[in-house]
Chains A and B, each alone.
Chain A
Amino acid sequence: MINFQTSPDQYHHWKLKVDGAVATLSMDVQEDETLAEGYKLKLNSYDLGVDIELADAVQRIRFEHPEVKVVVITSLKPRIFCAGANIYMLGTSSHAFKVNFCKFTNETRCAIEDDSHHSGRRYVAALNGTASGGGYELAIACDEIYLVDDGNSAVSLPEVPLLGVLPGTGGLTRLVDKRKIRRDRADVFSTLAEGLKGKRAKEWGLINDSFPTSKFQESIDARVREIAAGVKQTVSLRNDVEKTSLSENEPSQTNSLLYGIKLNPLQLEIKPAGLEYKYVNVVFNREQRYADLTVRGPEANLPTSPDEIQKLGDSYWPLQAYRDLDDALLYLRVNEPEIGLVCVRTEGNIDDVLAVDKTLLANKDHWLVREIILYMARVLRRLDLTAKSFFAIIEPGSCFAGNLLELMLASDRSYMLNNPDEKIELALSELNHGALPMSNELTRLQSRFLATPERVKEILAQTGRLDTEAAEQAGLVTFAPDDLDWEDEIRVAIEERTSLSPDALTGMEASLRFAGPETMDTKIFGRLTAWQNWIFQRPNAVGEKGALTNYGKPTQAQFDFKRT
């Protein structure tokens, strides 16, 4: 079982040092501390365990060290920054594990960019040695990249020429989309196993600058001071919220006055039949290959002032519930591969959910509230990107309102009981207006009603509750069976769904969920990852004579040269 929870005192592979406005995250991978047998993590190469720590560190910087303005990512190994994902680990992993590994590492890098973009923290990759493959992909997720110029160290994406696969952690997309490298140069760079060293790497825009060994640390320090002095704590959320409610003149909070909250270990009980978190419950129906996931809504009368919220820290419902949900999703992805369908329910009082949303929105400029909202958005995107079917099941006692309504909107289908004797309702809140966007930067409502944008406005204008009929009328739910049919409908829906090809479902859902425009994130998850997953299955990579199979072996790859 893979556990996604960790904390700095348990890290094997990273050292997190926070010194005022600067956090330094240093990679020092212990080669024997692997998640599985059969490989060693040499040269700062990584497996999922290394990336779980990185994701944790980035998350903790945001919540526990809001005073940090610059994060320096570097390595403690002399002359080596990071050699990327461990090839032997990939070679010995199942296809499903590889896919989940890449997805998680991609989400971690997107989280770095999310922090930079919305919380204004600047990430600096201080490459004290060669950064190859995933090592350079980690660097390119940062805002600025500096490479030591020792005549030897290079940045490279050697996957295509060496391994016959892609740099699958966003590398290719970020070359052309983020750093806007000319496509012909990106083509050359991506087929050059040894990569490029300081001078040419800078000329081509692959790095921001290079410094000689003897001046490297002082140059990084100087640049970091410069950035820290220049960074204003930008307070921004995505989309409408950002545009409508932030005025230029609003005084920005000064970081020095900030103090963080502690992210404590989750209260999780793992039982054979399921997972019990504080606010999330998961029941595995392994025989039928589906899980019931229930999110419990907030208690009544939660505090409304930022100071009180800060005091509550990680036990404040939105943070606790979404941390529970985040962990449950990751658990399902990696530890329960055969569960193909998740039935999502909520339990609680709609008023209490709406009250929380109101508080969040009213205090969105407070650093902690902003981080909480951004985190909720990331967890919902994690759900969007999970390769399982999601059905929202809306029954009496549920609270699909505001932020929790997004769970329903994120689901592939929704079933809402139609029973006039019961009170079954949905509700919207201001958070549905844009604070919780998808990877395509649209809201889930916008993505749902691409053909009729005016419908989005109409729905958002609804201040009251929507009962089953109104919800169906508005196009928010898929089916509304009445109480006589309900149980049978749900049973049949589940049985039908779990009988379909899991591969076809994954491809179908990923195609249907992200209507609308492309962004760098959707390209990374939709295009790059999809191609990578295809290549990962092909004989030219993993066949007996494939490049990945033969890497490090005495035999050479032999390709089937037919292009598809």
Chain B
Amino acid sequence: MNLYERIPNNVNLSEDKKLQRALEKWLPNYLDWWNEMGPDGFQQKDVYLRTAISVEPDGWANFDFVKMPDYRWGIFLKPAEADAKIGFGDNYGQPVYQEVPGEFRNALRRIIVTQGDTEPASVEQQRELGKTCPSLYDLRNLFQVNVEEGRHLWAMVYLLQRYFGRDGRDEADALLERRSGNPDKPRILEAFNQPCDDWLNFFCFTMFTDRDGKYQLSALAESGFEPLARTCQFMLTEEAHHMFVGDTGINRVVKRTAQLMNQGDVRQLGGIPLDIIQRYINFWFSYSLDLFGGEISSNSADFFAAGLKGRYKEQDQYDDHLAADQIFTMKIVEDNQIKDSEVPLRNALNEVLRTEYVKDCEKGLARWNKSLADEELVARTSVGGEHRLKSMPRLFLPNSRFHRHVGEYAGHNFDLEGNLISQEDFEKRKGEWLPSVADREYVRSLMHPVIEPGKIANWIAPPATGIKGKPFEFEYVRL
């Protein structure tokens, strides 16, 4: 059947009867899901998209106009290395698992389902955004992110269908049945049930939440279950673009805000004030931190010991891959005080991964603050600039304890610096720290579609360059 010929893959799909049979049932449901929950109003438009058709350097980034439902979602694993060995945990140095070891089957399935669930969730969260795009360039980026999240779902579904039998097939079906934000069948992780209904949310999501994905995938890319490792390694190449969209998206908003600050009142000039941007950062950063799981976790220890989930850049960054007797010191809350607690390292691996993530986020903040500094300089050096703002506030990440719903800090209240405060104090100051209804309404009020090639909304700066050498003015989506 030529259905399978249209599916780009490097898993020998045309010969794998078992996988074909599973996909035969799943594929129509996937397309139904995409049509029902994918980008609303643009399904029949030609979009300038990147499609992976092979894992070769020239194959994974193929650009062309395509209608999204016709996108060639494929199944790709990074090519296998000969004689790969498990890189960490109790079975360090043993040959990698080519099939699922029975004793880890449930744990692995849960890891894959949890990761897989986030992929369609984000498509659902973003389905209305196209209608308020700030430019055709951004619209195309949104759709690129969406179709690739779809492909990442395929990647996880491939693993479930190929390696987990009937339960795996059931879980693959369930991935299409849950819905972001639906109280009756919510997505598994809470950040994926938050609405993403304006573009500032979208940029924050791709900056902060997709970046969690990067770190989860990196940890799984180390996995001793080789098909999972190779799948995640390939997904990471695509995930990089999503974070690029978020990082540069916020940067362009910040830049535009700084420009407007130099001209007068940002709000009156139709921009997004810096304090609102800061509150969005506080919100998304804290929710994304939750995605790493509890600071002290028996799962993290079990997964590491079993060789299922490693650390970020396990092979490059660490020498001791057993991590058996080391201690990790972290802050916990005890008797209403913040105290140091010593935890076996393996139980603290969620926190270890989260720390890497925070470092990475800080780089983004540095870039945005650089934009603020640049505009400050522009103001000071331009004619009459000395009358303008002498200095602009800087953006920052809140402390990791702030506004957490999972782990050691959940159930306690902290300020942005991470000081323990009372529930009353938190409620009093919540409006300073997290987006209010008014903030959200204001940001939404700025969201009007700009669909003329080369034009851009007033609240965001144009990108420095276009896609694949095309100029910003290029008609990335043919409406």
Contacts and interface: CB of A to CB of B under 8 A. Distances in A.
B324 A554 contact: yes
Interface stretch (B209-217, B241-249, B344-352): B344-352
Interface stretch (A67-75, A144-152, A305-313): A144-152
B106 A554 contact: no
Contacts of A214: 183-184
B347 A149 contact: no
A192 B109 CA distance: 12
A194 B174 CA distance: 16
A194 B110 contact: yes
B40 interface: no
Given A194-B106, A552-B298, A213 B188 contact: no
A152 B302 CA distance: 21
Contacts of A556: 90, 302, 305-306
Band of interface residues on B:
20 to 34
Contact of A213 (B90, B183, B301, B346): B183
Contacts of A194: 106, 110
A114 B345 CA distance: 48
Given A193-B106, A555-B324, A213 B305 contact: no
A56 B178 CA distance: 41
A150 B302 CA distance: 26
Contacts of A554: 301, 304-305, 323-324, 344-347
Contacts of A552: 298, 301, 347
Among A151, A161, A551, residue most surrounded by chain B Cβ atoms (within 10 Å): A151
A559 B298 CA distance: 19
B185 A212 contact: yes
A551 B183 CA distance: 33
A553 interface: yes
Interface string B181-212: 00111101000000000000000000000000
A215 B183 CA distance: 10
Interface string B416-446: 0000000000000000000000000000000
A13 to B, nearest CB: 16
A556 B344 CA distance: 13
A557 B229 CA distance: 25
Interface string A331-357: 000000000000000000000000000
Interface in B292-329: 298, 301-302, 304-306, 323-324
Contact of A553 (B177, B186, B344): B344
Interface in A132-165: 149-152, 161
Interface residues of A, number: 18
Contacts of B107: 193
A192 B106 contact: yes
A117 to B, nearest CB: 35
A150 B106 contact: no
Nearest to A212: B184
Contacts of A553: 298, 301, 344, 346-347
A150 B185 contact: yes
A560 B323 CA distance: 25
Contacts of B323: 554
A151 B347 contact: no
B178 A151 contact: yes
Interface in A441-469: none
A214 B183 CA distance: 6
Contacts of A193: 106-107
Contacts of B304: 554
Given A193-B106, A554-B345, A151 B186 contact: yes
B184 A152 contact: no
B31 to A, nearest CB: 21
A150 B347 contact: no
A513 B347 CA distance: 47
A151 B174 contact: yes
Contacts of A151: 174, 177-178, 185-186, 188
B186 A150 contact: yes
Nearest to A32: B335
A194 B108 CA distance: 12
A117 B129 CA distance: 58
A100 to B, nearest CB: 26
A137 to B, nearest CB: 21
Interface in B154-187: 174, 177-178, 183-186
Nearest to B90: A556
B198 to A, nearest CB: 26
A150 B306 contact: no
Interface string A533-564: 00000000000000000011111100000000
A161 B90 CA distance: 19
A214 B179 CA distance: 14
Question: Max chain A CB contacts within 10 Å: which of B90, B174, B302, B305?
Answer: B302
A104 B192 CA distance: 42
Contacts of B298: 551-553
Contacts of B344: 553-554
B188 A152 contact: yes
Interface in A187-224: 192-194, 212-215
Nearest to A149: B184
Contacts of B90: 556
A554 B306 CA distance: 10
Contacts of B184: 149-150, 212-215
A399 B267 CA distance: 91
Nearest to B170: A200
A194 B107 CA distance: 9
Contacts of B324: 554-555
Contacts of B177: 151
Contacts of B174: 151
B271 to A, nearest CB: 38
Contact of B305 (A152, A215, A551, A555): A555
Nearest to A552: B298
A259 to B, nearest CB: 40
A13 B90 CA distance: 40
A454 B118 CA distance: 71
Nearest to B175: A151
A150 B174 CA distance: 11
A555 B344 CA distance: 10
A555 B322 CA distance: 10
Interface of B: 90, 106-107, 110, 174, 177-178, 183-186, 188, 298, 301-302, 304-306, 323-324, 344-347
Interface of A: 149-152, 161, 192-194, 212-215, 551-556
Given A213-B183, A214-B183, A554-B346, 11 more contacts: A151-B177, A161-B106, A212-B185, A215-B184, A553-B301, A554-B323, A554-B324, A555-B301, A555-B305, A555-B346, A556-B305
28 contacts: A149-B184, A150-B185, A150-B186, A151-B177, A151-B178, A161-B106, A193-B107, A212-B183, A212-B184, A213-B184, A213-B186, A215-B184, A553-B301, A553-B344, A553-B347, A554-B301, A554-B304, A554-B305, A554-B323, A554-B344, A554-B345, A554-B346, A554-B347, A555-B305, A555-B346, A556-B90, A556-B302, A556-B305
Would you list the 8 A-B pairs with minimal beta carbon distance, nearest first?
A554-B346, A212-B184, A552-B298, A554-B344, A554-B301, A213-B183, A151-B185, A556-B305
